[in-house]
Structure 1
Amino acid sequence: MTFGYLPWTRPGRDASRPCLRDARHEYSYAEVVRRVDAVAGQLAGRGIGAGDVVAVMLPNRIELLLVLLAAWRLGATATPLNPAFTANEAEFQLIDSGAKLVVNAGPDAPTGGLPSIAVDDLARPGTEVGLPQHDPRGADLALLVYTSGSTGRPKGVMLTHANLHAMASMMVDHFGLTEADHCLLVLPLFHVNAICLSFLASMLAGGQLTVLERFGPAPFLAAVEHHRPTYFAAVPTIYARLAELPESVRADTSSLRFAVCGAAPVSRELLERTEERFGFVLVEGYGLTEGTCASTCNPVDGVRKPGTVGPALPGQRIAVLGPDGEPLPTGAVGEVVISGPNVMGGYLNRPEDTAATLAGGRLRTGDVGWIDEDGYLTLVDRIKDMIIRGGENLYPKEIEAVLHGHPDVLEAAVVGAPHPVYGEVPVAWVVAYPGTSPTAEDLFERCRRDLTKVKHPVAIHLVDELPKNPVGKVDKPRLRELAVRS
């Protein structure tokens, strides 16, 4: 099987076309292949071969992608690490993954005692040696992507080349990507969203990718004007940062064919406000690392249903199960499960966790939702985030949606706080749009109007910002800690 996201498998006619660029470099497809071969030769010279694991701990830059490709060129596996990790955090992933070597920023970066190569010392064309011949197979382990660890120690999600090819193909199909498309990458490359949607899908389509090291509203808009991308993917936090810009800030975003929002729940109001403000089509999708990134998404051309995360991507099947594990009918609320060639092989060295998550041959997501008559999925909440108040099951997302309905609310998050009588009660944190000043009483009144009494938050905290994890998701474990102390 040929994996079209590997640049050395691209047709010769692509050789001179733009492929990858960042603030330091710009390479054609042919130049990327030469640089990958040089790095692969360097890795082979350090003892890396088929079945080995190469760790890469770098901020967003082209070299990170070159290392991934070089590992795959040798039949090895890549595991990307958050470059902000402490030595303790990095050491856990390096040891757990079984990495033999790490590519990092330099001598001060954590290595976990492993041999390392500094990014500035990566080999360049002209220094390569003969490469072992290896054609990746579908069953070959391509990526070890570690979960955020919000429910315990991070777990290494095993993704094969078959998983990656299936996901990239689904995205090319769903978004209609062609060689004319140009993605602006703003999400961190130590997570699968950026690797699959921004990088691999672009490569499979024969398009081009521009890598931004980090997101900032003004530099991002400047990059859109300068590079003229056709699409990008981001998390709700990024769209919130864009939506809160003063009206006087304007940018030419006419090159953008669409943008994707995923990785965390987003309010309908924020989607609509961003789309109206900047003029590009914004679609919401849904997926997990365990599903190689995305499983549903609203269409760019077709019926979009705000408030839903869209229908299943081509080749995937979405169902909703009841407590007995049996499929539920249209409109019924239950746990969302996913089937398809994108579902992970399992968690590295975690057979019990793997068996529980892949029970019945389907990916148990831990998310609660329902599917309408057109196959569009609406998420209700995470099972683990559900609040049980006096025996009543409350879903924070429903309360958050009411708070988001206030025109001055930019972000809202609700968690359960311990209560001596009811067990748990909802507590809310709210961030207002700049220049507005809603009061807690304004928000309590909205809750009283739109929610039954049992769902009313017992406290609403107005804050400047919500705590976020490295992917940009609201850090609800941290909020639960704050709720205990408040």
Structure 2
Amino acid sequence: MLDRLDHALRAAPDRPAVLGTTRRGTVRTRITRGDLADLADRYAAGLGARGVGRDGTIGVAVRPGPRALAVLLAAHRVGARVAVLDPGAGPDVLRARLALARPDLVLADAVAQAAAGWGRALARRARLVLPELTQWGPVATVGLRLPGCAPALGGASGSSRPPRHDGGDGDAVIVFTSGTTDRPRAVVHTRSSLAAGMAAVTDLVRPAPGTPVLGGTFFVLVPSLAAGAPVALPVRGPRALARQLRRLDPQATYLTPPHLRAALAAGARFGGRVWTGSAPASEDLLTRVKAAGADQAWGVYALTELFPAAAVEQADKAAFTGSGDLVGAPLPGVSATVAADGELLLAGPAARHRYLGAEPDPRVATGDRARMEGGRIVLAGRCKDMVLRRAENIYPGLYEPALHVPGVELALLVGVPAGDGDERLVAVVQPGRGADPRRVRTALAEVFDRMGTARPDALLLTEVPLSGRSRKPDRAATARLAADHRGVPVR
């Protein structure tokens, strides 16, 4: 798919690749297809000049957009793999992930470098705290280079195209998910599994050339651009997004459920086909999207380990009267089985190859309880502790050890239903006997500042429920307790 995209970009170099939107909602070309191809060439040349090639690892802390896509194309060209670094994960988690990935080169935009260096004080105010990136090896700047940033990646425009790596299959992308700061967990996709996932999206969405698509993920950008459709990245702010939808009139739109709800609240109108995923998409939400003008409204069931796995259109979801959450039939090539304990297991060409540091495993244990009904997947809750908030997976085990500050006996992070499939994240903390609650709150505030996008919505100081002969913390009972007592909002 990436090779196909590379050829497609060069076949029509003057056509728009990525569209931008001004504050007034005017649509403009942000980068042409030819310029995007040239940028990928320059980045590939820069990687080659730094000795990064086949089987090398590149840590990437670059905001989604044309430059991040050009980095992926460049890595593909030289045969390196990309480790996706999320600056919002917090410094402790990010440090552990860097130690596991051991990148040969870290590519970062100016914002990420500033947050990790000279702009740390300002970034901390925005609750973005990063470790010093240079301690993990050489760093290169992608995009605008500000004073104090590392040297830029890539040569001058028009530099010769570097030779293409043609070593068959191999690691393409590392995406971190769960685990702990001691033992991070990372999903490894190969070139073939990544291509299979993108091909599945193409067959599902069927983007037509020439008409815009609205979406910001690689699984939207690559298939759309390869098919000849320009892509617009969703703007921030519900009202601005509503204006963008009106001016752009996209053939297909991909937004997460929280973005859809915010856009609907701002009076957004839709057209064409709308796709949503990364979080549960209720029948009510899909119905509201169609009532707002969409021809079709689809919920996509996908995981980091296998994207996409299944899809369901609003009409089918509305007609389903059974218990549980219908997410649709497995997509072509995806096999779905239910284990004896009720956990949904998936397999297929788009499934991840392995977890970093582990042996390959063709089956993906989803952590979701499910049943098969008429060849369709019906979810019945989660088996694991993951909390899903605003379309982001939050793994309590990554952050709970840091909550045990002086004066704390037990601490759990639990999800509490917030309506329409979303959850609130609540820190339930049990102070030790004689501990000063004010000091505990002060100490926890410093921890919360380091949790990035996993920062809790509320703090509840109370006794943590225990269960079993071993008297382990009872997560289910703790979640019920947090739902009954909302706690103090975390500012």
TM-score range, shorter chain: 0.5 to 0.7
2:248 & 2:155 partners in 1: Cα distance?
26
| Structure 1 residues 484 and 431, CA gap change in structure 2 (3 angstroms) | closer
Matches within 5 A, 1:304-319: 307-319=325-337
Are 2:372 and 1:368 equivalent residues in the alignment? no
Aligned residues: 377
Contact conserved, 2:89 with 2:453, CA < 8 A, in 1?
no
1:195 aligns with 218
Q: Secondary structure at the match of 1:311?
A: strand
Which stretch shows the higher mean deviation, 301-310 or 44-53?
Answer: 301-310
Compared with structure 1, are the counterparts of its residues 348 and 20 closer, same or farther at alpha carbon in structure 2 (3 Å cutoff)?
Answer: same
Is the CA contact (8 Å cut-off) linking 2:47 and 2:154 kept in structure 1?
A: no
Distance 1:45 1:126 in 2: 15
1:319 aligned counterpart, secondary structure: strand
Which residue of 1 is the match for residue 264 of structure 2?
243
Aligned CA RMSD, in angstroms, stands at 3.8
Is it true that 1:384 corresponds to 2:407 in the alignment? no
Report % sequence identity. 23
SS of the counterpart of 2:329?
Answer: coil
Name the stretch that deviates more: 143-152 or 35-44.
Answer: 143-152
In the alignment, structure 2 segments of 5+ residues that lack a partner are: 22-27, 117-131, 145-151, 389-395, 397-413, 421-450, 459-474, 486-491
1:427/1:183 CA distance change after superposition, 3 Å: closer
Q: Secondary structure at the match of 2:284?
A: helix
Match in the other structure for 2:350: 342
CA distance in 1, matches of 2:84, 2:415: 36
Answer whether contact 1:297 1:313 (CA < 8 A) is retained. yes
Is the Cα contact below 8 Å between 1:242 and 1:274 reproduced in 2? no
1:295 corresponds, among 304, 309, 324, to 309
Q: 1:482 to 1:145 in 2, by over 3 A?
A: farther
TM-score calculated relative to the size of structure 2: 0.67
1:55-78, CA deviations, whole angstroms, 9 ceiling, x for partnerless residues?
A: 111223321111111111111111
Establish whether residue 184 from structure 1 lines up as the match of residue 214 from structure 2.
yes
More strand by share: 2
Cα deviations by residue, 1:390-428 (Å, 9 ceiling, x for unpaired): xxxxxx99xxxxxxxxxxxxxxxxx9xxxxxxxxxx995
Q: Aligned equivalents of 1:136 and 1:103: distance in 2? A: 24
Q: Is the 8 A contact 2:5 2:222 kept in 1?
A: no
- Cα shift at 1:286: 0.8
In structure 2, distance between residues paired with 1:18 and 1:427: 42
Counterpart-to-counterpart distance in 1, 2:454 and 2:218: 13
Distance of 1:304 and 1:136 partners within structure 2? 47
1:207 and 2:222 aligned: no
Cα deviation, residue 48, structure 1: 0.9
- Change in Cα spacing, 1:427 to 1:156, as seen in structure 2 (3 Å) is closer
Counterparts of 1:115-126 in structure 2, within 5 Å, are 115-119=138-142, 120=144, 121-123=152-154, 125-126=156-157
Which of the numbers 254, 260, 280 marks the counterpart of 1:265?
A: 280
* Equivalent residue, structure 2, for 1:133: 164
Distance 1:102 1:296, change over 3 A: same
- CA–CA distance in structure 2, aligned partners of residues 266 and 302 of structure 1: 13
Letter in 2 for 1:263: S
Equivalent in 7, 12, 15 of residue 14 of structure 1? 12
C-alpha spacing 1:135/1:65, structure 2 compared with 1 (3 Å): same
**Distance in 1 of aligned mates of 2:313 and 2:377:** 13
The aligned residue for residue 285 of structure 1 is 300
**1:322 aligns with one of 337, 340, 346:** 340
Residues of 2 paired with 1:314 and 1:266: CA distance?
21
One-letter amino acid of the structure 2 residue matched with residue 133 of structure 1 = R
- CA–CA distance in 2 between the matches of 1:302 and 1:289? 25
Counterpart of 1:10 in structure 2: which amino acid? A
Alpha-carbon spacing, 1:427–1:25, altered in 2? closer, same or farther (3 Å): closer
Query: Using CA pairs below 8 Å that are at least 6 residues apart, which structure has the higher relative contact order?
Result: 2
In the alignment, structure 1 segments of 5+ residues that lack a partner are: 187-193, 324-333, 387-395, 398-414, 416-425, 433-467
Quick check: 2:9–2:33 contact (8 Å CA) kept in 1? Answer: no
Note the alpha carbon deviations across 1:365-413, whole angstroms, 9 max, x for none.
121112222x221111111269xxxxxxxxx99xxxxxxxxxxxxxxxx
Worse-matched range after superposition: 301-310 or 100-109: 301-310
Deviation at 1:45, TM superposition (A): 1.1
Partner residue in 2 for 1:222: 243
